Amino acid sequence: MLKKSKQANAEPTVSNSPVTMVDRTIIGDQIYIEGTIRGEEDLLIEGSVKGSIEMKAHHLTVGTKGQVIAEVRAANVTISGKLEGNINATGRVEITKAADFNGEIKAKSISVEDGAYLKAVIELEREPTQKTVPLGKPEAKASSEPKKEPFVLTGKDSKGN
Amino acid sequence: MAASAADLSQRDLNQHLGLEGYNSNALKLFIEHLDQQTESRLLDVGPVCQENIRFFARRVWKHYVCDMFIRLDRNIRKGDPVYQIWKELDYHPESFDGILMWELADRLDEQDVKRLVTLCHSMLKPGGMAMVMVMGDQIASSETKSFVVGQNHRIYLRPQPHLKLPLRGRQNRDVLSMMAPFIPAKSFICRPGFMEFLFRRE
């Protein structure tokens, strides 16, 4: 069932959460949701969700029992369960060793524990680097046309078991 | 007298490599190659390591991570054939400017090494580079380690106790032979028996 939880009483499913949560909603492990979830508070998923999750100013946690196939937009994301889809986070993405993630991550920062089961395309805010330009050659212009992506998010049939 | 590979503890390993890790000339050249590319794409086949993700994801345009070590480990534990893991490397041909292969080949038998090398050759763009490590008898052990990239092209080895993988113990000449589809670009001796290789696709 959907539960409202105060942090002080909540079961600590994931340790070392980078964000202090005051209130959060829990989707329990017997719940299956298909569709769009939008929220203005933190969310812990222990059940199954398929669709999209938008909580731009809040923290999404996929707990150890959670199974999510979704496009995710959130401030911070913690994955300890299974998540297949793309994550767009304005803050931090945390992937624990219990996680099974397949998809693309765009975030400001990331932490990954050794042992995480990961297949990902990761884009972080880049450091300005000084490209070395060979003498006598002008620096190549970046193409204005988006290049064909070499990786398309794969379905279940290509996941490791 | 050198300790046997099986007896080599992390302390021994650190003593052997130096507690501060070692300077990786191959990594320096590899990064210089990536820095020359526009919209560079890098593939790291693992083991997944936070430091490396942070380091490379901020340097390249897109950093692809597909941990083949943990996939290999899970397949072996379940008794599934190793060849099943290769479906995970389902990237388009000529997708990457660089591939970090680390010591994955040393965890595979001859047949799967050929498959890995063929896939990597296909996935690299012409002119792209692959980085390969051979750890040698003194450093290698059945305990898998990640190559953790630090500051100033230093590399540290960190044990990955969750990975139980066989070790084939290939020699340098074996590496050159298995990477035959590539052009050897550079090789460096880090410690006796511990070598780094850079290969380039024509």
Q: What is the ipTM of this complex?
A: 0.87
Q: Is B83 on the interface with A (CB under 8 A)?
A: no
Chain B residues within an 8 Å CB radius of A141: 38
- Phi, psi (degrees; rounded to nearest 5) at B95: -90, -30
The structure tokens 């300077």 sit at B23
B172 versus B176: the higher-pLDDT residue is: B176
Burial (Cβ within 10 Å: 0-12, 13-18, ≥19) of residue B43: buried
pLDDT of A8 above 90:
no
Nearest residue on chain A to B97, alpha-carbon basis: A150
Q: Do B39 and A143 touch (CB under 8 A)?
A: yes
**Confidence at A5, pLDDT banded by 50, 70, 90:** low
Quick one: tokens of A6?
């105060």
Contacts of B96 in chain A (CB under 8 A): 150
Chain B contact for A40 (CB, 8 A cutoff): no
Report pTM.
Answer: 0.81
In the predicted model, what is the mean pLDDT of residues A94-116? 97
Name the least confident of A38-47, A147-156, B8-17, B158-167: A147-156
The answer to whether B83 touches B15, Cβ cutoff 8 Å, is: no
Chain B contacts in chain A segment 74-133 (CB below 8 A): 97, 109-127, 129-132
Q: What is the pLDDT of residues A120-139, one digit of tens each?
A: 999 997 766 544 444 344 44
Q: Is the CB of B35 less than 8 angstroms away from the CB of A131?
A: yes
Percentage of chain A surpassing pLDDT 70?
Answer: 64
Residue range A49-76, pLDDT digits in tens: 999 999 999 999 999 999 999 999 999 9
Q: Is the pLDDT of residue B112 over 90?
A: yes
User: Domain extents for chain B?
Assistant: 5-200
Q: Which of B65, B95, B96 sits opposite A118 (nearest CB)?
A: B65
- What pLDDT shows up at residue B9? 54
Lowest-confidence region among A10-19, A85-94, A122-131, B64-73: A10-19
DSSP, collapsed to helix, strand or coil, labels residue A89 as strand
Q: Is B88 on the interface with A (CB under 8 A)?
A: yes
Quote the pLDDT of residue A118: 96
B/e letters for B174-200, b = 16+ CB within 10 Å, e = fewer, are bbeebbeebeebebbebeebbbbbbbb
Give the range among B27-31, B97-101, B141-145 with minimum mean pLDDT: B141-145
Q: How far is B16 from chain A (nearest CA, A)?
A: 23
Q: Which residues of A touch B59 (CB under 8 A)?
A: 126-127, 129
- B5-200 CATH: 3.40.50.150
Q: Is the pLDDT of residue B20 over 90?
A: no
Across B144-168, average pLDDT: 90
Give the model confidence (pLDDT) of B42-59 as tens digits. 999 989 899 999 999 999
What's the pLDDT score for residue B141? 63
A110 and B146 within 8 Å at the Cβ level: the answer is no
Share the mean pLDDT of chain B: 88
| First vs last C-alpha separation in chain B | 43
- B88:A119 CB<8 A: yes
**Given an 8 Å threshold on Cβ–Cβ distance, is B87 in contact with A148?**
no
Contact B38 A121 (CB under 8 A): no
Q: pLDDT value at position A77?
A: 98
Gap between the Cα atoms of B169 and B175, Å rounded: 10
- How many CB pairs below 8 Å do chains A and B form together? 107
Strand partners, B187: B197
Chain A positions touching B90 (Cβ under 8 A) are: 154, 158
Give the Cβ contact number of residue B118 at 10 Å: 12
CA–CA distance, A104 with A48 (Å, rounded to integer): 20
- d(CA A4, nearest CA chain B) in Å: 33
Q: CB of B54 within 8 Å of any CB in chain A?
A: yes
Give the minimum alpha-carbon distance from A69 to chain B in angstroms, rounded to a whole number: 18
Q: Give residue-wise pLDDT tens across range B54-76.
A: 999 999 999 999 999 999 999 99
pLDDT category at A145 given cuts 50, 70, 90 is very low
Best of B37, B67, B145 to substitute, by most chain A Cβ atoms within 10 angstroms, is B67
Report the relative pairing of strands B154-164 and B143-149 from DSSP bridges: antiparallel
Alpha-carbon distance of A69 to A49, in angstroms, equals: 6
Cβ–Cβ contact B11 with A under 8 A: no
Q: Which pLDDT value is given to residue A9?
A: 44
Min mean pLDDT across A23-27, A114-118, B103-107, B138-142 is at B138-142
Identify the closest residue of chain B to A142 by CA–CA distance: B38
A20 touches chain B (CB under 8 A): no
Going by C-alpha positions, the residue among B39, B40, B65, B38 that lies closest to residue B51 is B65
